[in-house]
């Protein structure tokens, strides 16, 4: 980074930070697949989910991309915010630090701060994937820096192929654990996949300080947040704000499977809020 750029980047970043500060914080919100609007892009389609600060994130940004066969999202690039992608359908070549890995539906990949990355549709049909970007107070400190060196105690860029995830049986169905570690910009970042059998709930309604994102892979859920229940299906995204009471139940006749992402940052409260 040149001295001139070092002087300029805080100025360039300031409008973005001011806009985020002026935006209302994202509270618990349910986004249904049917509520997303698809817009054509040069490589396929894009559906916007959210781009707002939250109680514990400087910005939570999410969208859904569809790539046409043979096309890439963009050339390999870097950015300080950390990113998680979940592949809904299709086949992708995932590029991380010069290495390409082919993955299929259900797979998950994490791009650590400032690691070069990109994806390309390697199949003969459109590929659709959910993108989640997480900006914290630490993210700005990573701008323009080299990626952190590998550390087994910290989550680096990683690919979790669906067909290689270990499955463990639970009282209500199954669980696939992916990760639970600090990252370059987050105090802890955990991801798992839960399957619950018809008519069952994973737990009673509860609350916790860390914010949670849920993506429904398959099945139907009745989701209750702060006493209000909404029925959702595949492709729904749930953002559960810090300390909001939430729970859900499988109301379908088949298994329901969903991804769970939980995020702790420097702004996450230390204790559970009381009623």
Q: pLDDT by residue (tens digit) across 24-82?
A: 999 999 999 999 999 999 999 999 999 999 999 999 999 999 999 999 999 999 999 99
Which domain covers residue 207, as residue numbers? 3-264
How far apart CA 109 and CA 241 sit, in angstroms, is: 23
Report the candidate in 247, 256, 142 with the shortest Cα–Cα distance to residue 199. 256
pLDDT over threshold 70, residue 146? yes
pLDDT average, residue stretch 87-111 = 98
How far apart CA 27 and CA 240 sit, in angstroms, is: 7
How far apart CA 154 and CA 189 sit, in angstroms, is: 10
Residue 2, pLDDT score: 43
Q: Tell the residue number behind the tokens 């973005």, with chain if given.
A: 16
* Coil/strand/helix, residue 16: helix
Residue 143: inside a domain, yes or no?
yes
Residue 247: inside a domain, yes or no?
yes
* CB atoms inside a 10 Å sphere around CB 205: 13
Band the pLDDT of 207: cuts 50, 70, 90: very high
Q: What is the mean pLDDT of the chain?
A: 94
Residue 272: inside a domain, yes or no?
no
pLDDT over threshold 70, residue 3? no
How far apart CA 182 and CA 71 sit, in angstroms, is: 33
Q: How many structural domains comprise the chain?
A: 1
Residue 275: inside a domain, yes or no?
no
Residue 229: inside a domain, yes or no?
yes
Question: Do residues 213 and 241 touch, judged by C-beta distance below 8 A?
Answer: no
Band the pLDDT of 12: cuts 50, 70, 90: very low
Residue 43: inside a domain, yes or no?
yes
Q: What is the CATH number of the domain that holds 214?
A: 2.60.120.10
Residue 275, pLDDT score: 61
Residue 273: inside a domain, yes or no?
no
Residue 271, pLDDT score: 80
Residue 165: inside a domain, yes or no?
yes
Question: Do residues 115 and 96 touch, judged by C-beta distance below 8 A?
Answer: yes
Residue 5, pLDDT score: 38
pLDDT over threshold 50, residue 8? no
């Amino acid at each position: 980074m040149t001295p001139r750029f070092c002087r300029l980047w805080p100025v360039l970043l300031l409008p973005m930070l001011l806009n985020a500060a002026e935006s209302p914080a994202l509270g618990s919100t349910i986004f249904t697949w049917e509520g997303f609007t698809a817009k054509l892009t040069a490589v396929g389609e894009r559906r916007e989910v959210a781009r707002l600060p939250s109680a514990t994130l400087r910005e939570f940004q999410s969208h859904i991309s569809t790539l046409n066969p043979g096309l890439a999202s963009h050339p390999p690039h870097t950015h300080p915010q950390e990113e998680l992608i979940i592949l809904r359908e299709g086949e992708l070549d995932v590029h991380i630090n010069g290495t390409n890995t082919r993955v299929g539906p259900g797979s998950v990949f994490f791009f650590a701060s400032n690691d070069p990355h990109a994806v390309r549709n390697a199949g003969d049909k459109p590929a659709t994937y959910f993108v989640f970007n997480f900006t914290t107070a630490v993210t700005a400190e990573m701008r323009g820096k080299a990626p952190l060196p590998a550390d087994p105690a910290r989550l680096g860029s990683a690919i979790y192929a669906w067909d290689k995830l270990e499955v463990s049986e639970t009282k209500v169905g199954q669980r696939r654990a992916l990760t639970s570690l600090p990252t370059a910009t987050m105090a802890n970042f955990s991801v798992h996949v839960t399957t619950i059998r018809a008519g069952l709930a994973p737990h009673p309604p509860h609350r916790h300080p860390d914010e949670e994102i849920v993506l429904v892979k398959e099945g139907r859920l009745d989701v209750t947040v702060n006493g209000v229940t909404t029925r959702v299906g595949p492709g729904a995204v749930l953002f559960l704000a810090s300390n909001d009471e939430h729970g859900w139940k499988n109301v379908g006749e088949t298994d329901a499977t969903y991804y769970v992402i939980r995020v702790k940052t420097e702004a996450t409260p230390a204790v559970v809020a009381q009623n």
